[in-house]
Structure 1
């Protein structure tokens, strides 16, 4: 903080000095502005002051909407910022003829907004690890995401308008960047809604993980289409865009992998109740520790149904332990014909709860012990 204060003081003094000198040497406001704009040294000093003011504005927004950042969030910011700067430097080789003050300003605004997109995504991802979330968190997240998506849409429309009026230029890159940011943030907002619904639900939401998977799948598809469109436009207008080949490849790989996982999941979960036999009490007793390693709860084997004659002979009396005859069998709970907590035995011999196994297969299509 002390170094930032020193940097700010020096930047302010230098900028004030060049501005005062320009107005002292020129007869009117217009002439002074022209001088400042045409002088590279003056523009560098003024842009440096603008960078300092941007940092101050960013810290104020952080304090208002995010508070203190976690160590993991800071690490992610450094990693992503370094990659974003490197990628933009490579993009400058394509738009080198258009590199000017406007490009620097647009890049600074883009990086400024990217930081808060990344923070929103990290905060949404951290919701699953938070036992309780205060109301202020929801207010901040909804407000911030709404503001960022609104800015993304406005900047995309501005980029489209500039390209329409002036033809292909650097605004193509910024338009696609804001499209990707809006897509990622809308996907994070969808996750936020699902996490919020799950937290307010008294029962575990078994379909939540699958909905999150479909959300990521749709987001990856939109990103892939955007990257391919951007790649095609740059290829036609400027030449081969080497700086986004990696992004196109990684996005396509992620999308194809998710499609493959979906097919394998559908195959693995088809007729699970019939494919995987129920574990008997004897098989559970043979285990050293009859605990489901997914949910860490004890597994109880299903007992055979009592014959109707035995029920009649019982005459409505309790069993040997004093429990009612209808409750004598601690079998699996069934809802609409689907097992929920019955232990299932895989071909490899490992045993897990039915719903735990299904939840696991949504993420990985292999035995949890492998």
Structure 2
């Protein structure tokens, strides 16, 4: 904080000095502004002050909505920020003719908002590991996510308006960036809602993991379509956008892998009650340790099905099921495992 205070004091003194000098040398406000704008040294000093004020604003937002950051969140911020800056530097090769003060301001704003999008995603992901979440957490998260999504939408509309009026320009890149941010944040909000509902339930929510999977699948699909549209627009108007080829490939790979997992899951869970026979008491007794390795609870053989603990397909969710490989697990544990992996849990 001491270094930041020194940096802020020096930035403020320098900016105040060049502004006072400009107004002292020019007869009116307009001519002083023109002088400041056309002087590279003055603009660098003023932009440096703007950077300091942005850092201060970021610190205030962090304090209000996030409080003290965890070590993992700080690590993620450094990793993502480095990648975002590198990616933008590559993008500048496409828009090199449009690189000016406005580009620097737009990039700073984009990186500023990205930081809080990343923090929201990390905070939502941490909900599953938090045994108890206070009301203030929910108020903060709903408020900041609402503000960020609203800003994303407004900036996307602003980019579309400028491109429609002026033709293809650097705002194409920023428009697509904010579209991706809005998609990711809405997916995080969906996860937040599912986690909140699950925390208020007394019994385990077996369908939660599949809902999260579908949410990620839809988000990946929207991101893939957005990347492909951006790729085509840049290719047509500027040339081959090398800086997003990796992102397009990774997003397509993630989406196709999720589609493959979904097909395998549907295949593995089709008619589970009939495909996998109930484990008998003798088979359970033959085990050295009749514990389900997924939930770590004891398995008890059952004859027939009872009304309590019955799944949506009419099967008792606590009945032990035997796989073709000979391993035995609870029915509901096996189903939840197959949502993530399509192989025996012991492999």
Task: Indicate whether the TM-score tops 0.5.
Answer: yes
Separation (CA, whole Å) in 1 of partners of 2:144 and 2:328: 45
Change (3 A) 1:214 1:330: closer
The aligned counterpart of 1:287 is 287
Q: Distance in 2 between matches of 1:232 and 1:331?
A: 56
Partner of 2:310: 334
- Which of residues 334, 340, 344 in structure 2 aligns to 1:357? 334
**Contact 2:156–2:175 (Cα < 8 Å) also in 1:** yes
Determine if contact 2:65/2:141 at 8 Å carries over to the other structure.
yes
Aligned to 1:159: 159
State the match for 1:302 in structure 2. Answer: 302
Output the CA distance in 2 between the equivalents of 1:217 and 1:330: 35
Aligned equivalents of 1:109, 1:338: Cα separation in 2: 54
**C-alpha offsets along residues 3-55 of structure 1, whole Å, 9 cap, x if unaligned?**
11111111111111111111122122111111110011110111011001000
Match of 1:308 in 2: none
Tell me the CA shift for residue 283 of structure 1. Answer: 1.7
CA-based RMSD? 1.4
Task: Assess, with a 3 A threshold, how the Cα gap between structure 1 residues 331 and 214 changes in structure 2: closer, same or farther.
Answer: closer
Q: How does 1:1-370 map to 2 (within 5 A)?
A: 1-303=1-303, 333-335=309-311, 337-370=314-347
CA contact (8 A) 1:284 1:299 kept: yes
Unaligned runs of 5+ in 2: none
Which secondary structure does the structure 2 equivalent of 1:204 belong to?
A: coil
Which structure would you say has the larger Rg?
Answer: 1
CA distance in 2, matches of 1:8, 1:347: 68
- Secondary structure at the aligned position of 2:329 is classed as strand
**Residues of 2 paired with 1:187 and 1:154: CA distance?**
18
Task: Please give the alpha-carbon distance, in whole angstroms, between the structure 2 residues aligned to 1:38 and 1:333.
Answer: 75
3-state secondary structure, aligned to 1:339: coil
How big is the shift at 1:339? Answer: 2.1
CA contact (8 A) 1:176 1:230 kept: yes
TM-score normalised by L of structure 2: 0.97
Partner residue, 1:324: none
Q: Is the 1:331–1:342 contact (alpha carbons within 8 Å) kept by the matching residues of 2?
A: no
* Aligned equivalents of 2:309, 2:244: Cα separation in 1: 52
Unpaired runs of 5+ residues, structure 1, are 306-328
CA deviation after TM superposition for structure 1 residue 333, in Å: 4.2
* Cα distance in 2, alignment partners of residues 4 and 141 from structure 1: 28
How far apart, in 1, do the equivalents of 2:121 and 2:24 lie? Answer: 49
* Aligned residue pair count: 346
In structure 2, C-alpha distance between the alignment counterparts of 1:330 and 1:255, rounded to whole Å: 40
Choose 148-157 or 197-206, whichever is displaced more: 197-206
- Please state how far the C-alpha of 1:331 moved relative to its aligned partner: 11
Query: CA separation in 2, counterparts of 1:297 and 1:218?
Result: 34
